[in-house]
Amino acid sequence: EAGVAQSPRYKIIEKRQSVAFWCNPISGHATLYWYQQILGQGPKLLIQFQNNGVVDDSQLPKDRFSAERLKGVDSTLKIQPAKLEDSAVYLCASSFGSKGTDTQYFGPGTRLTVL
């Protein structure tokens, strides 16, 4: 079974530029998550989708970050304009459901460097 796919793996941009990340979850997984992991810290949830609806975006900086999951499968996360403090690894994860017992499976991440 294929795992969670993400692209690109690495991205370097200058501040104030825009960037987009793509995620394809495990087939059949209804719940999709985007996390931000700053160096030396654990991942922090940015947004959670159930099918194509947002169920939690309380920690998403909505003035610059946006995300969508059209048709309830693939998802894109966009940053516009990027700031220096957005340098981090962006991890996508998926799970079959959203109960406390549902395991989240992660993709390889996108390492973003903002100069």
Partner 1 sequence: AQKITQTQPGMFVQEKEAVTLDCTYDTSDPSYGLFWYKQPSSGEMIFLIYQGSYDQQNATEGRYSLNFQKARKSANLVISASQLGDSAMYFCAMREGDGGFQKLVFGTGTRLLVSP
Close Cβ partners of 8 (under 8 Å, ≥ 6 residues apart): 21, 110
DSSP string, 46-81: EEEEETTEEEE-TTS-TTTEEEE-GGGS-EEEEESS
Please report, as a single letter, which amino acid is at residue 84. L
Stretch that binds partner 1, among 14-22, 61-69, 76-84, 99-107 (CB under 8 A): 99-107
Between 27 and 40, CB nearer to partner 1: 40
Count of beta carbons in the 10 Å neighbourhood of residue 100: 5
| Residues within window 31-60 making contact with partner 1, judged by CB under 8 A | 33, 40-45, 48, 50, 55-56
Mark 59-98 with x for binding to partner 1 (rule: CB under 8 A) and - for no binding: ------------------------------x-x-x---xx
Mark 1-20 with x for binding to partner 1 (rule: CB under 8 A) and - for no binding: --------------------
- Smallest distance, Å, CB 51 to partner 1? 12
Helix (H) or strand (E) holding 90: strand 88-95
Residue 72 structure tokens = 């309830």
The residue ranges that bind partner 1 (CB under 8 A) are 33, 40-45, 48, 50, 55-56, 89, 91, 93, 97-101, 103-109, 111
